[in-house]
Amino acid sequence: MKTKEEKFTGMKLPGIPTIIAFGLILCALIALLIWLIGANLGKATTAAFVILDIIVLVILLFSTKGFLQIFPNTSCVMIFFGKYEGSIKENGYFWVNPFYVRNRLSFRAKNLDSEPIKVNDKAGNPVMIGQVVVWRIADTYKASFNIDNTSQTLANFVKVQSDSALRYVTGMYAYDNNSENEEEVTLRSGGEGINDILEKQLNERLAIAGIEVVEARVNYLAYAPEIAAVMLRRQQADAIISAREKIVDGAVGMVKLALNKLADENILELDDDKKAAMVTNLLVVLCSDEPAQPVVNSGTLYN
């Protein structure tokens, strides 16, 4: 979105010389007022000069509203009778027309640590997910005029849009992998990829307010309480099945190695029935959860 932000080009005087000049003028006006009271210029003339002196004094005091101090990483949006006149970003102490309405904005980074919210993932499972967002104002015009620009409202705008982006990203991915597609990107395994997508979504939503997202990341992820216990048992079952598969693969390899070793070194001549019995016994021993209980039977292989 194209920016309408402009640099302030109106009258902007250095603050220190201006305040010194105002002090000298004030002293001169007070001295003049004292002299007029003591001088014998006639009632009408004295009254006219006193009124003029007071008017100038009031104008001078009103003009002190024009003093403006800009701190590092802050700016001031200048509005003259409803018209945007530009933004002052230079640091320092200045004097401007006191009729300008000034809206102060800060470019400093701010944190949003949102509470976890309940969202359905791609598979429809309710999950609790939270995020941390680091944001700052990048465009003073948009931040001032595209939305309500009070600090509380800006922070609330960021929070609402952040929750919306987080809900959108959560709905794009499943919480965890399933057995059908082990390579699928998920919320739990996505890592930096999920954070990058979240940051992109946030920048798109907050651009209208002139806000830039410095960093966004998921800082909390868990199943919702109502399904957490069931999903834990499912994860445990998946882990047990995976471990069993590895044990069986290893056991089959060991049995094959044992049979090949016996055949290559001509230790035993086994027919198919005895090979099947040996394979069964070895698999039971290798795949069992309990320690094997050996039984010596010296005639089984030959009778």
Q: Write the CATH number for 182.
A: 3.30.479.30
Q: How many CB atoms lie within 10 A of CB 10?
A: 12
- pLDDT(300) > 60: no
Q: Is residue 255 within 8 Å of 279, Cβ to Cβ?
A: yes
Clarify whether residues 56 and 16 are in a common domain: yes
Average pLDDT over the chain, rounded to whole? Answer: 83
Q: In this structure, is residue 130 part of a structural domain?
A: yes
According to the model, what pLDDT value does residue 142 have?
92
Among the residue ranges 26-40, 88-102, 132-146, 173-187, the one predicted with the least confidence is: 173-187
Tokens matching residue 125 = 């499972």
Q: Rank 1-5, 96-100, 298-302 by mean pLDDT and report only the highest.
A: 96-100
Q: Which of 223, 240, 272 lies at the terminal end of a domain, its last residue?
A: 223
Q: In this structure, is residue 3 part of a structural domain?
A: no
Clarify whether residues 97 and 127 are in a common domain: no
pLDDT, average across residues 271-281: 69
pLDDT digits (tens, 9 = 90+) for 104-122: 999 999 999 989 999 998 8
Clarify whether residues 191 and 207 are in a common domain: yes
Q: In this structure, is residue 236 part of a structural domain?
A: yes
Domain that holds residue 232: 228-287
- pLDDT(170) > 70: yes
Tokens matching residue 229 = 């216990």
Count of domains for the chain: 3
According to the model, what pLDDT value does residue 189 have?
82
Q: Comparing C-alpha atoms, which of 162, 143, 112, 144 is closest to residue 209?
A: 143
Q: How far apart are CA 64 and CA 68, in angstroms?
A: 9
Q: Is residue 105 within 8 Å of 149, Cβ to Cβ?
A: yes
Is the model's pTM score more than 0.95? Answer: no
CA distances from 128 to 125, 169, 242, 264 (A): 10, 13, 27, 60
Q: In this structure, is residue 297 part of a structural domain?
A: no
Q: In this structure, is residue 213 part of a structural domain?
A: yes
Clarify whether residues 248 and 146 are in a common domain: no
According to the model, what pLDDT value does residue 270 have?
67
Burial profile 277-287: b = 16 or more Cβ within 10 angstroms, e = fewer: ebbeebeebbe
pLDDT, average across residues 253-270: 71
Q: Comparing C-alpha atoms, which of 68, 57, 63, 69 is closest to residue 28?
A: 57
Percent of the chain residues past pLDDT 70, beyond the cut:
79
Tokens matching residue 280 = 């069964």
- pLDDT(186) > 90: no
Q: Is residue 63 within 8 Å of 19, Cβ to Cβ?
A: no
Tell me if residue 41 falls in helix, strand or coil. coil
Q: Which of 105, 132, 152 lies at the terminal end of a domain, its last residue?
A: 105
Clarify whether residues 165 and 252 are in a common domain: no
Q: Read off the pLDDT band of 153 (50, 70, 90).
A: confident
Clarify whether residues 134 and 213 are in a common domain: yes
Q: Is residue 154 within 8 Å of 147, Cβ to Cβ?
A: yes
Helix or strand run (H / E) with residue 101: strand 100-106
- pLDDT(62) > 70: yes
Clarify whether residues 98 and 137 are in a common domain: no
Clarify whether residues 100 and 119 are in a common domain: no
More confident position, 285 or 94? 94
According to the model, what pLDDT value does residue 250 have?
75
Q: Which of 81, 105, 129 lies at the terminal end of a domain, its last residue?
A: 105
Among the residue ranges 134-148, 168-182, 209-223, 238-252, the one predicted with the least confidence is: 238-252
Clarify whether residues 138 and 233 are in a common domain: no
Q: Read off the pLDDT band of 236 (50, 70, 90).
A: low
Q: How far apart are CA 140 and CA 76, in angstroms?
A: 8
Q: How far apart are CA 253 and CA 162, in angstroms?
A: 53
Burial profile 128-150: b = 16 or more Cβ within 10 angstroms, e = fewer: bbebbbbbebbbbbbbbebbebe
- pLDDT(29) > 60: yes
Tokens matching residue 251 = 């056991």
Q: In this structure, is residue 2 part of a structural domain?
A: no
Q: How far apart are CA 95 and CA 80, in angstroms?
A: 15
According to the model, what pLDDT value does residue 107 have?
93
Clarify whether residues 57 and 150 are in a common domain: no
pLDDT, average across residues 27-45: 79
Q: In this structure, is residue 240 part of a structural domain?
A: yes
- pLDDT(206) > 90: yes
Q: In this structure, is residue 4 part of a structural domain?
A: no
Clarify whether residues 211 and 277 are in a common domain: no
Q: Rank 40-44, 147-151, 153-157, 268-272 by mean pLDDT and report only the highest.
A: 153-157
Task: Count CA within 13 A, CB hemisphere, residue 130.
Answer: 10
Q: Is residue 218 within 8 Å of 195, Cβ to Cβ?
A: yes
pLDDT, average across residues 292-296: 61
Q: How far apart are CA 257 and CA 19, in angstroms?
A: 96
Clarify whether residues 212 and 241 are in a common domain: no
More confident position, 24 or 257? 24
Q: Read off the pLDDT band of 303 (50, 70, 90).
A: very low
pLDDT, average across residues 192-220: 93
